[in-house]
Amino acid sequence: MSRLVVVSNRVPVPEKGGIAPAGGLAVALKAALEERGGIWMGWSGNSSGAQEPEKLKEIQQGSITYALTDLTDTDVEEYYHGFANRVLWPICHYRLDLAEYGRKEMAGYFRVNRFFAHRLAPLIKPDDVIWVHDYHLIPLAAELRQMGLKNKIGFFLHIPWPPADVLFTMPVHEEIMRGLSHYDLVGFQTDHDLENFAGCLRREGIGDELGDGRFSSHGRTFKGGAYSIGIETAAFAEFARKSATHSMVRKARESIKGRSLIIGVDRLDYSKGLTQRIDAFEHFILTNPAQQGRVTYLQITPKSRSEVPEYEAMQRTVAEQAGRVNGALGSVDWVPIRYINRSVGRPILAGLYRLGKAGLVTPLRDGMNLVAKEYVAAQDPEDPGALVLSRFAGAARQLKGALLVNPYDIEGTANALARALSMPLEERQERWKLMMDQLLEFDVSRWCRDFLKDLAP
């Protein structure tokens, strides 16, 4: 079996004692790397300031080598904060109004990908299989091909792929499309993303769909496919069951006694629809006065990319909005919205999901959304909660038992919340089982196996 080389912007390096950071993706990729032996390479998260970064730092853990590189301040600003997060991220999430294109940042993005390629290439053996992850590293295969590497190289995009009219607003869209053509397999979260990609090739006249998931573009033939990423379903379900005894989960259960819990968990990001969600909750309370004092909405939202001004402004906006609703609707013994602006440990989170009578997952646009899947997996099979899910999350393509909503429709989302909280037990159980069966079959290990099988059969 060929050795596996994983490349991602950030690398979840095990802590001392070999304990890997939590998270389904890290677990699945680590398992694949352990099975085949290999390398996980990426940015260390550290800056070397104005100095050229020192050589790769390599950490050996069993059969896996973690290879980390620092970046200069300029690299971090132009490649990461600049083009990746202020051009590619907003455009892929259909937010043209937030895309700030600059030639300097674009040049930095391609320069850092070339830098990654030059650091990675000496580590590669002729029969290695290379798997590149996410929007930060789209040009990496082209740089490796330029250096003469003929290895099988796959790419997986964890965020949405937009339709042609959205993508083409980016001045360097053709260079991005050309970069993807240098992979042997390009993976997307959903069939809709794959259709959008095929449409971009056709509309620009730079490629053809050959059938059987094959494409030709820029003189190369490659495969494209939809691979919906999952979670470690069975393990997470067990995790949630055991978390019921955790002291923090017990305190949370006591604090909401006699009230239904609605739970939302999101990174602080404009793609998550947080302001619309709070509006929908407020509308739900105002139109269902009997629920006043009988329901609590817990929104857990860790800070994200605080260095980017849009995120700093959003942090203030969401906090002010939650405060306004609490001030307008709350009482001495009832705070309608509990807003937590920091990370919560995975064991506690699993237990909180299980307490939720409704999971409120309403992004404006999302590649997949694993919170929706974690919420379902965490439920008590005997008395599961109901999931209210945005139709614009990739997870909506799989989770047919969810109540699908348009997050821009405040009244519709409020109505779905009311339905979730009043749903009969039998219907909740049927909907939960439909989703849980899907999650058990298509877990994160299956996602990993399916992609690698198609990349290098």
Cα–Cα distance, 367 to 392 (Å, whole number): 9
Identify the active-site residue in 128, 269, 366, 443: 366
Q: What is the DSSP string of 384-413?
A: --EEEEETTBGGGGT-TTSEEE-TT-HHHH
Backbone torsions φ then ψ of 401, nearest 5 degrees: -90, 0
Contact 31, 8 (CB under 8 A): no
Cα–Cα distance, 413 to 84 (Å, whole number): 32
Instruction: For residue 94, give the amino acid letter.
Output: Y
Exposed, middle or buried, 226 (CB in 10 Å: 0-12/13-18/19+)? middle
Tokens of 264: 């939302």
Identify the active-site residue in 93, 133, 136, 158: 158
279 is catalytic: no
Cα–Cα distance, 24 to 81 (Å, whole number): 26
Q: Which of 142, 150, 139, 147 is nearest to 121 (CA)?
A: 147
Q: How far apart are the first and last CA of the chain?
A: 10
Q: Which of 54, 28, 38, 30 is nearest to 3 (CA)?
A: 38
158 is catalytic: yes
Active site residues: 158, 366
